[in-house]
Amino acid sequence: MSIKSFSPKNGLAVAKARLVESKKMLIKTALKFLLEHNGFRPAAMHLIIGLSGAGKSTFFRTVGIDYQINKEGHDRAGIWYSEESENDFEVHFVKTSMAEAYFLNKDINFYSEVDGWESKKADFAKLEKMFKESDIVFFDNLTTSSFYEGSYNEQVYFLRKLKGLVKKYKKPLVVFAHTDSKAKEGAKALIEQNDIRGPKTICNLSEFVYILQQFHVGSEIKSTLRIVKNRGQEVETKVFFLNYDKKSSTYNDAVKLPFSQFKMFFEQRNKL
């Protein structure tokens, strides 16, 4: 493969154009933690890591409904589900006060591995078709997907193919993943990127990484979100308190959280 050559003048012009593009919000959002870096970015992987039961399903509903409400025209979401059926998925949303907003125009490409898994080859073709026909893809949950069955090398191979789809079709991919068994609520350390279940390759390949972590302080639950990686985007605030709304079963607000208060939640958390 030959090395590309370009004149310094043209190279500078291209770089400036890319900088301007990076500051545009191409996928509309009303969520404060996404506004920090101008929304979900095209051709980028956005990874959300959390313990089982840490609020990932609530977070998924939150970003999914936000997309449906703020999308432009006939933009279509792709949803790849590994843990539950399409029926289960729809029931979760019908229970919320935001059901009408979510199913607005029914512009959703949906696939559940529970309903129709065939093989890694056949289902990867379906996943690629979803990228072709969608404007954003949500993958819930990577670490419980049948694509993740097999050896470490097989998992890494899939992750690199997944990244290839993101770059080929220039669509944002929002991936949800569990932590491994060593990361537990009440543990002495904060959850970090390397606590993800399986290969750490996904963290390296992702442009954006968010960590969901709940702290039980007495009888209260403090849900927090940390932006721990934001490649190519400047982020002023990286820690948020997520306010849970029972009626909509979503996080209806993300409050910027000073590190001192975040540290207080951590120090006061209930310990086993």
**Range in 4-8, 93-97, 111-115, 246-250 with the lowest mean pLDDT:** 4-8
User: What range defines the domain where residue 190 resides?
Assistant: 38-268
Q: What is the CA radius of gyration of the chain?
A: 19
Residue 49 domain-assigned (yes or no): yes
Q: What pLDDT band is residue 88 in, cutting at 50, 70 and 90? A: confident
- Residue 239: pLDDT over 70: yes
Domain count, the chain: 1
pTM attached to this predicted model? 0.87
**Cα angle value 138/144/150 (rounded, 5°):** 120
Q: What is the share, in percent, of the chain residues with pLDDT greater than 70?
A: 84
Tell which wins on pLDDT, 153 or 104: 153
pLDDT, position 3: 62
Instruction: Quote the crossing angle between the two packed helices 120-133 and 152-169, to the nearest 10°.
Output: 20
- CATH number (domain holding residue 54): 3.40.50.300
Query: pLDDT value at position 142?
Result: 95
In a domain, 212, yes or no: yes
27 lies in a domain?
no
Structure tokens belonging to residue 76: 């279509």
The answer to whether residue 17 sits within a structural domain is: no
> Taken in order 119, 120, 123, 125, is the CA torsion positive or negative?
negative
What residue type is 97 in one-letter code? S
Asked if residue 92 is part of any domain, the answer here is yes
For residue 19, tell me if it sits in a domain. Answer: no
Length of the chain as a residue count: 272
Residue 25: inside a domain: no
Residue 45: inside a domain? yes
Give the per-residue pLDDT at 69: 84
